[in-house]
Amino acid sequence: MTSDDKYTQQTLTSIRVWSPSLFSLRCTRDASFRFQAGQFARLGVQKADGSVVWRAYSMASAAHDEFLEFFSIVVPGGEFTSELSRLQVGDSLLVEKQALGFLTLDRFADGRDLWLLASGTGLAPFLSILQGLEVWQRFARVVLVYSARTASELAYQPLIRGLMQQAHLQEYAERFVYLPLVTREQVPGCLHGRITTLLESGELERAAGLSLDPAFSRLMICGNPQMIDDTRALLKQCGLQLSLTRRPGQVAVENYW
């Protein structure tokens, strides 16, 4: 069966291995599939016994791209990623038709500076947001903070470092600040320490050349739940609150685990 009411069957077109535990998949995109940058889709992989396992993955590709790209960690013994990591180019991937998730720019009514705080594969939705036009038209400064354990686990460096050379983004180049963080080793050109440690010390603000201020700052956080909880607690002390439907705030989050 190629599709039903809920999903379409897509073809895997490329696989990129970043490290022993990180890889990206690119597949075809159904012409009718729509999503907002920052959203996720549920992906299905058929097992040898014919059953299908499903997991949610944020799109790392731009909303305007003709393909879909996803960024994954290999979970040792994990039912889904062990199936995903054995796939080869030409194999099928099931993609649910409905994109989901609220880590989107419409969470914020206004703001001057947008901070994107990512750990690990939590980078994916921010890659999608950064490749679109809306974020650059709405914010005067966009700071990407990307935390990994080691330098070898900092994925997508060519895309990030070449981002503002893309034709449609060149005029906004001076708005972008990229701060890579490495927690387990000292790496030239990277900050050393956890996001929370560098927030507490003020080093993150110094490196960005911006201060965190409820009047101007908007933050999106994506990564493991512990990082998100700890970061949210620190931001709350600065008067930065979670943005809810009933109470607009300065912070939006997505757990990635």
Do the domain assignments include residue 1? no
pTM of the model: 0.96
Among residues 153, 144, 160, 158, which one has the least CA distance to residue 222?
A: 144
Is 49 in the same domain as 91?
A: yes
95 and 109 within one domain: no
Same domain, 242 and 149: yes
Q: How far apart are CA 242 and CA 255, in angstroms?
A: 14
2 inside domain: no
CA distances in angstroms from 169 to 37, 59, 164, listed in the order given = 16, 20, 5
> CATH no. for residue 213?
3.40.50.80
CB 257 within 8 A of CB 181: no
129/235 same-domain check: yes
Last residue of a domain, one of 79, 100, 121: 100
The CATH code of the domain that includes 76 is 2.40.30.10
Same domain as 225, residue 136: yes
110 lies in the same domain as 194: yes
| DSSP letter, residue 243 | -
Sequence letter at residue 156: Y
Per-residue pLDDT of the chain (257 residues; tens, 9 = 90+): 445 789 999 999 999 999 999 999 999 999 999 999 999 999 999 998 999 999 999 999 999 999 999 999 998 888 898 888 889 999 999 999 999 999 999 999 889 999 999 999 999 999 999 999 999 999 999 999 999 999 999 999 999 999 999 999 999 999 999 999 999 999 999 999 999 999 999 999 999 999 999 999 999 999 999 999 999 999 999 999 998 878 889 999 988 65
Question: Rounded distance, CA 193 to CA 195, Å?
Answer: 7
Give the SS3 label for residue 35: coil
Residue 168 and residue 247 in one domain: yes
Contact partners, residue 41, CB within 8 Å, separation at least 6: 33, 35, 56, 57, 59, 68, 95, 96, 98, 99, 100
Domain holding 67, by residue range, is 7-100
